[in-house]
Amino acid sequence: MSDGACDGSLLKVSAAAGTVRALAAVTTRVVEDARRRHGTYPTATAALGRTLTGALLLGGTMKDEERLSIELVGDGPLRRVMASTTGAGRVRGYVAQPATHLPPKHGKLDVAAAIGSGILCVIRTQPWNKEPYRSIMRLVSGEIAQDLAHYLVTSEQIPSAVALGVFVNREGDVGAAGGFLVQMMSGAEEGVMRHVERNVAALPQITTLIREGATSRDILDAVLAGLDTSPLAEQSTCFACPCTRECVFGAILLLGRTEIADMIARDGGAEVTCEFCAERYAIGADELRMLIAEPEGTA
């Protein structure tokens, strides 16, 4: 299992008599943890960081036992960006091509070009449903925030505003990361919607706010300025992966006894790297022999 320090923050509030739901997250350390694990270049860091933050925000609307994954697949050099989360502030993810970096566009990292044209897939897994809920749609921009807002409006019929940002320092590390999600729930008045739209339009970039020291509370205070708000929940966030050596053993067993025996003879063991968190597991020849010595059907 690979866990980072749970020192990010996610805040959820309601406003306008419960007709507005808003969440904000400061994820600088979460994204930096992901960058360090995967060795991402700046544009890849921005794409991964936005997706991780977006997953945390959407995950904040779920129950703790639910699971959510976001996958963007495009024809750009990144190829794929993936993030998955629980409803408890734990997130993990990766990019298919971490060494992706493109020239900036209008002074910003060109995430849209790195992703290219493609699809967005959002999967919600709920223990009370046998089959996960899966939504697949064409990317509208590749900027990720716009694509997630489009998903929420189109697939879940919830008018939403989403902002996501990652600021990468010259040295390549993450200087600021975070975002917010505002949703108009049933009964939201037109005037309230217009008011929130004006607030959002007047905000500087989300990473500018965070670099100036803004917390999740400060961000929501700005987004919902002029409205009465009520806190709903606050939780820590972290990059966390549930992978274990036992999971690795199970995956190796799926290769079959013949392939495992060949692995022992050819390589004298195995090294497995978790795609999500880059944790490396060295499996010795003796451990592999123990696996194939187990009776069929056990692991």
**Residues composing the chain:** 299
Which DSSP helix (H) or strand (E) runs through 10?
A: strand 8-15
Give CA angle at 137 (136, 142), nearest 5°. 120
| Residue 2: predicted pLDDT | 63
What tokens does 186 get? 């049933």
Name the residue with higher pLDDT: 290 or 220.
220
* Homologous superfamily of the 245-293 domain (CATH): HSP33 redox switch-like (3.90.1280.10)
25-50 confidence digits (pLDDT tens):
999 999 999 999 999 999 999 999 99
pLDDT (mean) for 1-8: 66
- DSSP codes joined into one string, 193-206: HHHHHHHHHH---H
Percent of the chain predicted with pLDDT > 90: 74
Dihedral angle computed from the Cα positions of residues 259, 264, 268 and 271, in that order, rounded to the nearest 10 degrees: 40
Instruction: Please state, in angstroms and rounded to a whole number, the distance separating the CA atoms of residues 241 and 126.
Output: 19
- DSSP codes joined into one string, 52-74: HHHHHHHHTTS-TT-EEEEEEEE
What tokens does 111 get? 């995430």
For all residues of the chain together, what is the average pLDDT? 92
157-185 confidence digits (pLDDT tens):
999 999 999 999 999 999 999 999 999 99
Closest CA to 179 of 158, 192, 165, 169: 165
Common-topology check for domains 2-240 and 245-293:
no
CB contact at 8 A, 156 and 185: no
Q: Which CATH number fits domain 2-240: 3.55.30.10, 3.90.1150.10, 3.40.50.620, 3.40.50.2000?
A: 3.55.30.10
Longest dimension (CA), the chain: 71
Domain spans, the chain:
2-240, 245-293
Taking 90 as the threshold, does the pLDDT of residue 299 lie above it?
no
Taking 60 as the threshold, does the pLDDT of residue 132 lie above it?
yes
| Residue 63: predicted pLDDT | 79
Which DSSP helix (H) or strand (E) runs through 151?
A: helix 145-155
Beta bridge partner(s), residue 272: 281
| Residue 297: predicted pLDDT | 47
Instruction: Please state, in angstroms and rounded to a whole number, the distance separating the CA atoms of residues 165 and 148.
Output: 13
Taking 90 as the threshold, does the pLDDT of residue 118 lie above it?
yes
Strand pairing report for 118-125 and 133-138: antiparallel
What tokens does 175 get? 């200087």
| Residue 218: predicted pLDDT | 97
